[in-house]
Structure 1
Amino acid sequence: MIALFVIVVMALLAAAMGRFLTDSSEKNTVEVRSVRALLAAQSGLEVALYQLFPNRPVAPSSNRCNLVLTTLQFNGNSGLVGCQVAVSCQEVPVTYNNQSSTGYRLESVGTCGSSDLNSANPDFAVSRTLMVEAYDGGTP
């Protein structure tokens, strides 16, 4: 009787430890995808800022937000495979030293993973959102 009790208790402990290991593995996966999504969102902001304010002078445009790409895929980058970025741009009025100018509000949403429930191996997606406001600092 005691041997049966010990066997049952040990089986319950083994099952609990297996579940703890599975939970730990899933948490690590979420953490890695979260960091990748954050890096993808930061990369999207950097690309959008370069498109708004390139190193070379460009002809002024009536709406510079049209220069910003709205989606980016990272197929060529092995660190961000499976990640994508959606960037939105909005013009905002800026007043600096009593002078009005046009600023830009950029929002970047980086998403890694897939949430397609119809696939053979359904997965989860993690996203991170970053926002930045910028203006060229020149005289309007």
Structure 2
Amino acid sequence: MIALFVIVIMGLLAAAMGRFLLDSSEKNTLEVRSVRALMAAQSGLEIGLYRLYPNDHWDAQQCAALTAIPFAVPGLVDCNVVLTCKPVVVSAAGGTQTGYSFQSTGACGHSDVNSPNPDFAVSRTLVAQAFDGVMP
């Protein structure tokens, strides 16, 4: 009877430890994907700013052309960025100036709820504004 009790208790402890290891692994995966999504969003902002202001001249037509950016670099595989750019009019120093507001949403992972093992999908959003610095 004592041996059966010990076997049951050891089995429960083993099951609990297995669950703790699985939870730890899932949290680690989520943390890594969160950082990758943040880096993808930041990279999207940098790409958008470069396309708007390439080689020391302001190219306002590029704002409307900014769209989804897929990544092929090893650190950001399975990540993508949706970048939006909107003109913003700001009043400063007695004049108005047109700037641009960027919103970059980086997403990593796939979430197919119909699959037997749905994956963690993580997204992070960053916003930045840029002005050409020239008052009309």
If the length of structure 1 is used for normalisation, what is the TM-score?
0.89
TM-fit CA distance, 1:120: 6.4
Are residues 1:19 and 2:31 paired? no
TM-fit CA distance, 1:101: 0.5
Partner of 1:92, secondary structure, is strand
Aligned match of 2:122: 126
| Letter matched to residue 93 of structure 2 | N
Q: Which 5+ residue runs of structure 2 have no aligned equivalent? A: none
| Letter matched to residue 74 of structure 1 | F
Aligned residues: CA RMSD: 1.7
| Letter matched to residue 122 of structure 2 | V
| Letter matched to residue 10 of structure 1 | M
- In the TM superposition, 1:46-125 aligns within 5 A as 46-57=46-57, 61=60, 64-67=62-65, 69-75=66-72, 77-119=73-115, 121-125=117-121
- In the TM superposition, 1:4-15 aligns within 5 A as 4-15=4-15
| Poorly superposed stretches of 4+, deviation over 3 Å | 117-122
Percent identity reads 61
Partner of 2:54, secondary structure, is coil
* Residue correspondences, number: 136
- Structure 1 residues 23 and 86 mapped into 2: Cα distance closer, same or farther (>3 Å)? same
Q: Which 5+ residue runs of structure 1 have no aligned equivalent? A: none
TM-fit CA distance, 1:98: 1.7
